[in-house]
Structure 1
Amino acid sequence: MVDEVALMAAALAAVAIFVAVAVALPADALSAEVNRTENANVTPLKTTNLRYDEDYSYLRDPEKRTGAWWERYKYVPLNFSDDAYLTLGLELRFREEAYRNFNWGELSVNEYQWYRMLPYVDLHFGPNLRLFGQVVGAWVTDKETVGRIDATGAELLQGFADIKLPLVSGADLTLRGGRQLLSYGTERLISLRYGPNVLRSFDTALASIQSAPWRVDALYARPVRNLVGSFNDRFDPDRSLWSIYATGQLSEISSKPSFDLYYIGYRNAAAEFNQGRGEEVRHTIGSRFFGAAMGWDWNFEGIAQFGHFGNGDIRAWSIASDTGYTFAGVTFSPRLGLRANIISGDRNPNDFILETFNPLFPKGKYFGEIGLIGPYNLTNAHPTLTLQLDTQWTLDLATVFYWRESLGDGIYGPGGDLVRPSDNSRSRYIGTQADVILGWQPFPWFGAALSYSVFVPGQFIRDTGPSKTAHFVGVEAMLKF
């Protein structure tokens, strides 16, 4: 009864925050902001999670300004040069999460609050040289066990310099060095881990060639190891990453189908799988085909991995898909989608071949807000429905069905930790998950979300440990400009 009361209290607190913010933002302020953008031939605020790929140089032209409050921070001209300017920005996020029966009963109640602050400064010395810096402040309260995704105090999240060099006509080379966030494709393999409280950054040397419509990046990076406490994060000496990643459009037609082709190298001196511990050197090759046309959208990816783990070889693979159709002329513009993945697992933990797929640096909440399962040794089907309720409100509904791809391997968490070893279980079905997310964005610079998830365990969970139904409630509010 106490557990249910705690979960209900978290849900009521979420609703209270929604109501409080709605009351605090008067309707006339909302109308003024929306009308100013809709009635002018201007570019509205469009932020990204990386932040360094936002371009506000257009604000140099007074005719392209709306008078919105945030524009004064996005283009601050500097006196020493006609084309030198400063861009400032900030993200503030509060998020509360509450679990009942975390990991199907390992913790009865787990409720905590995340706080995150992400200010940045982007200094442009003309079109070819710039300095970028961003600090993260990430804290957590009421959590018994604090991990690397929960809190890191105040740290340098990004700090780099880049220079753009013209090559031949229409092609540029950008050289960048320093600490930075990395994001490629749909973040199945290299992500900035935006959903959890602490983002993932890398100490990186990168060279990028841009020749429209193609871009090719070559990089060597060390992931930053996050520690609780301020200004003590350093690169991880056990892990390294190197990659060549090409992305571009296959044609100039309106649907613009696009294609990625990549190689990623990875080393971990202290890797751990169901098979055991050892040094892992893994090579990943893959391609992705994606685009949209006539209401349809698609995203298909195939990945193969090889290398060595300990004294044995690595042979792993994954096939991923996300296909949807949007009924644009129907009320709420519903999008029906289906995601499906097959992710290899290890056939025999007692031989010297490791067949467990490694997603390297994936996004934190890979299969939904509840975040209990990571992309290792899985086959899953993930139907979705997205509704645009009006210009401010969205509703996302999803169900996920999970199976083990291999009966000789266990299941893993989003961070790669072994959640349940195989324990000689011959059961394949892991469980069923359902998600509901209500989103609200009254302004381009403010949004909030309320989410609920439930995970009903299958026979494999019942065979290998606690097997209670897991519940999750999450609420967040974010200001970002």
Structure 2
Amino acid sequence: MPKPGIVPIPPKGPGYYSALDTLMGNRLEKPPKSGYAPFAINAWPFFDADWRYVESVPNCQWTAVERLKRLHLSERLLLSTGGEFWVRYTNETNSRLQAANNDFTLAHVRQYADFWFGESLRVYGEYVWADSFDEELSPVPPDVDRGDILDLFVDLKLGELGGESVYVRGGRQELLFGSQRMVTPLPWANKRHSFDGFRMFRHGKETDVDAFWTKYVPPQASEFDSADDQQTFAGLWWNDHSKKGSSKDLYYLFYDNENTVSQLGIGRAPFQTHTVGSRWSGNQDGFMWDIEGAMQFGRQADRDLVAGMGTVGFGKGCPDAPWSPTFWMYYDYASGDNDLSSGDAHTFNQQFPFGHYYFGWMDLIGRQNIHDLNAHLYLYPNKWTTMWLQYHHFYLAEERDALYNAGGVAYRHDPTGAAGNNVGDEIDLVLNFHLTRYSDILVSYNKLFGGKYLEATANANQDSNAEALYLIFQQRW
């Protein structure tokens, strides 16, 4: 998986890498290999999990999960299976900044099968069942999808270019590119994003090249998901990782949504966006940087669109210090519109982002019409416990534009601009306990201290402050 932003440098060397290792006195010389993340949230799709190392592990040392991977059914036929059970309890005060509390539980089960016929043909399928229980507010669409196909595609090798294989993928698939600021499977969601379409890719030791043309697949609670023919998402992505410790991206994204959407009197769709962006990130001697920017052109409703976004972050990791701290400072910006009645639109369209990761765990802020000054601190009290502290200060880019949430929905708006631009401050505390090599418990406490803008735009059924408690258990196989 490409490295996202705000990346920590975890401790290495001899130690106990899970709670079970500690109880059993199983001291390891280095972190154990796995195709899954040692964290409750696995960002990359399971079809990108790398289990090739299993081939070099003696059979007598395989874990129960490793015995499900790289099964040689014949000389050319290879099978891997696996999945995940995930449950999240949520307690929200002033949920979605409404004057209402929301206490509920989300759960999902995923199961996949991955067939390889040599290197020339691959068939991958993944089932998902996701549901919500005891909610007091209506669940958001990604919360509920009772039995569906998350992924079902075929990879066909077309040949080789520059010594690397070129593949075409057709079918339903998750998409993940670069920092995930623009394109993500949405790992936090109970049901992740899917797209129907085609992707051609060549991934090599120095460069990766991807091209895709898809239709977005919105989740349906009790019906079989089908692609929305009104939403086309396509693009080109190039990544250069030829220099150790450095990564460069250049990308073009095309998003055409022909549906009609109006929020708080603002015409949000139909729209057609062309986004051109680049990113440079790296790590040298524990000093890290992450710089990304994009310009956007097209049409929003009946207006010409010119917009942009940018982010700059610098970090320092000290893996050999006590608790192995990693510290980051970031500034994030996405343009807004100072005159919604003019013939030009300037509100950045965030595409399909991992907003939960970048703009706070409350999911109240999206990458649209926003400034965000944020700081992050990772700590490792031991090798199986991750502590992540965040602070965000939010203020609007344009006072007359709306405030948009993590899903890009406008939910507060003062067209006069009299409410100002001070949205507020958010703090987030995340604790992940790695129980075994394939299971975790995550606890997160999050609070938004509303600023003058939220206070001024709140009606009798709304509030300016909010807090949330999340408790997650996951087991993978």
| TM-score normalised by L of structure 1 | 0.88
| Counterpart in the other structure of 1:10 | none
Equivalent of 2:369 in 343, 353, 377 = 377
Equivalent of 1:411 in 403, 410, 413 = 403
d(CA) in 2 for partners of 1:27, 1:226: 37
Summarize deviations over 1:402-456 as a string: whole Å, max 9, x none: 0000112010111111110233133011011111111100322011111101101
| Unaligned ranges ≥5, structure 2 | 1-17
Q: Does 1:120 align with 2:112?
A: yes
| Counterpart in the other structure of 1:435 | 428
Equivalent of 2:301 in 310, 335, 338 = 310
Superposed, 1:358-377 pairs within 5 Å as 358-363=349-354, 365=356, 366-377=358-369
Q: Does the aligned pair in 1 maintain the 2:435–2:441 contact within 8 Å?
A: no
Equivalent of 1:344 in 314, 335, 339 = 335
Q: Does the aligned pair in 2 maintain the 1:425–1:464 contact within 8 Å?
A: no
Q: Does the aligned pair in 2 maintain the 1:312–1:354 contact within 8 Å?
A: yes
| Counterpart in the other structure of 1:327 | 318
Residue aligned with 1:103, SS: helix
d(CA) in 2 for partners of 1:424, 1:163: 55
| Counterpart in the other structure of 1:159 | 152
Summarize deviations over 1:53-91 as a string: whole Å, max 9, x none: 12334434454873212111012221xx31321101111
Q: Does the aligned pair in 1 maintain the 2:142–2:191 contact within 8 Å?
A: yes
- CA deviation after TM superposition for structure 1 residue 462, in Å: 1.2
The verdict on how the C-alpha distance between 1:62 and 1:331 changes in structure 2, with shifts beyond 3 A counting, is: closer
Q: Does 1:215 align with 2:204?
A: no
Summarize deviations over 1:190-230 as a string: whole Å, max 9, x none: 11111021111100201112343111111101110111115
Judge which range, 207-216 or 64-73, deviates more: 64-73
Q: Does 1:400 align with 2:395?
A: no
The verdict on how the C-alpha distance between 1:40 and 1:195 changes in structure 2, with shifts beyond 3 A counting, is: closer
| Alignment-mate amino acid for residue 258 of structure 1 | S
Q: Does the aligned pair in 1 maintain the 2:400–2:413 contact within 8 Å?
A: no
| Alignment-mate amino acid for residue 355 of structure 1 | H
d(CA) in 1 for partners of 2:241, 2:320: 28
Summarize deviations over 1:97-126 as a string: whole Å, max 9, x none: 11111233x142111100011111101111
d(CA) in 2 for partners of 1:134, 1:400: 36
Superposed, 1:19-98 pairs within 5 Å as 27=20, 31=24, 34-35=26-27, 38=28, 43-47=33-37, 49-61=44-56, 63=58, 66-78=61-73, 81-98=74-91
The verdict on how the C-alpha distance between 1:416 and 1:330 changes in structure 2, with shifts beyond 3 A counting, is: same
| Counterpart in the other structure of 2:256 | 267
d(CA) in 1 for partners of 2:59, 2:71: 15
| Alignment-mate amino acid for residue 124 of structure 1 | W
| Counterpart in the other structure of 1:21 | none
- CA deviation after TM superposition for structure 1 residue 271, in Å: 4.2
Equivalent of 1:470 in 461, 466, 472 = 466
d(CA) in 2 for partners of 1:359, 1:277: 12
d(CA) in 1 for partners of 2:457, 2:32: 58
Backbone CA RMSD of aligned residues: 2.2
The verdict on how the C-alpha distance between 1:86 and 1:113 changes in structure 2, with shifts beyond 3 A counting, is: same
d(CA) in 2 for partners of 1:310, 1:28: 57
| Alignment-mate amino acid for residue 247 of structure 2 | S
| Alignment-mate amino acid for residue 293 of structure 1 | Q
| Alignment-mate amino acid for residue 326 of structure 2 | R
d(CA) in 1 for partners of 2:96, 2:278: 33
Identity %: 25
d(CA) in 1 for partners of 2:32, 2:355: 35
d(CA) in 2 for partners of 1:46, 1:28: 17
Q: Does the aligned pair in 2 maintain the 1:60–1:75 contact within 8 Å?
A: yes
- CA deviation after TM superposition for structure 1 residue 42, in Å: 8.0
d(CA) in 2 for partners of 1:278, 1:418: 12
Residue aligned with 2:406, SS: coil
Q: Does the aligned pair in 2 maintain the 1:403–1:431 contact within 8 Å?
A: yes
Summarize deviations over 1:172-203 as a string: whole Å, max 9, x none: 21110000000111211111111021111100
| Alignment-mate amino acid for residue 469 of structure 2 | V
**Greater relative contact order: 1 or 2 (C-alpha under 8 angstroms, separation 6 or more)?**
2
Superposed, 1:456-467 pairs within 5 Å as 456-465=449-458, 466-467=462-463
- CA deviation after TM superposition for structure 1 residue 323, in Å: 2.0
Q: Does the aligned pair in 1 maintain the 2:201–2:209 contact within 8 Å?
A: yes
Q: Does the aligned pair in 2 maintain the 1:59–1:65 contact within 8 Å?
A: no
The verdict on how the C-alpha distance between 1:125 and 1:455 changes in structure 2, with shifts beyond 3 A counting, is: same
- CA deviation after TM superposition for structure 1 residue 166, in Å: 3.0
Q: Does the aligned pair in 2 maintain the 1:58–1:64 contact within 8 Å?
A: no
d(CA) in 2 for partners of 1:474, 1:42: 28
| Alignment-mate amino acid for residue 213 of structure 2 | Y
Residue aligned with 2:360, SS: coil
The verdict on how the C-alpha distance between 1:27 and 1:52 changes in structure 2, with shifts beyond 3 A counting, is: closer
d(CA) in 1 for partners of 2:220, 2:288: 40
| Alignment-mate amino acid for residue 217 of structure 1 | D
| Alignment-mate amino acid for residue 69 of structure 2 | K
Equivalent of 1:391 in 383, 387, 411 = 383
Q: Does 1:353 align with 2:344?
A: yes
Aligned length: 447
Judge which range, 389-398 or 173-182, deviates more: 389-398
Q: Does the aligned pair in 1 maintain the 2:454–2:463 contact within 8 Å?
A: yes
Q: Does the aligned pair in 2 maintain the 1:42–1:66 contact within 8 Å?
A: no
- CA deviation after TM superposition for structure 1 residue 328, in Å: 2.6
The verdict on how the C-alpha distance between 1:26 and 1:456 changes in structure 2, with shifts beyond 3 A counting, is: closer
Residue aligned with 1:184, SS: coil
| Counterpart in the other structure of 1:284 | 275
| Counterpart in the other structure of 1:201 | 194
Q: Does the aligned pair in 2 maintain the 1:139–1:153 contact within 8 Å?
A: yes
d(CA) in 2 for partners of 1:41, 1:117: 27
| Counterpart in the other structure of 2:288 | 297
| TM-score normalised by L of structure 2 | 0.89
| Alignment-mate amino acid for residue 206 of structure 1 | R
d(CA) in 2 for partners of 1:438, 1:370: 15
Summarize deviations over 1:337-375 as a string: whole Å, max 9, x none: 112101100110110111000111112524122111111
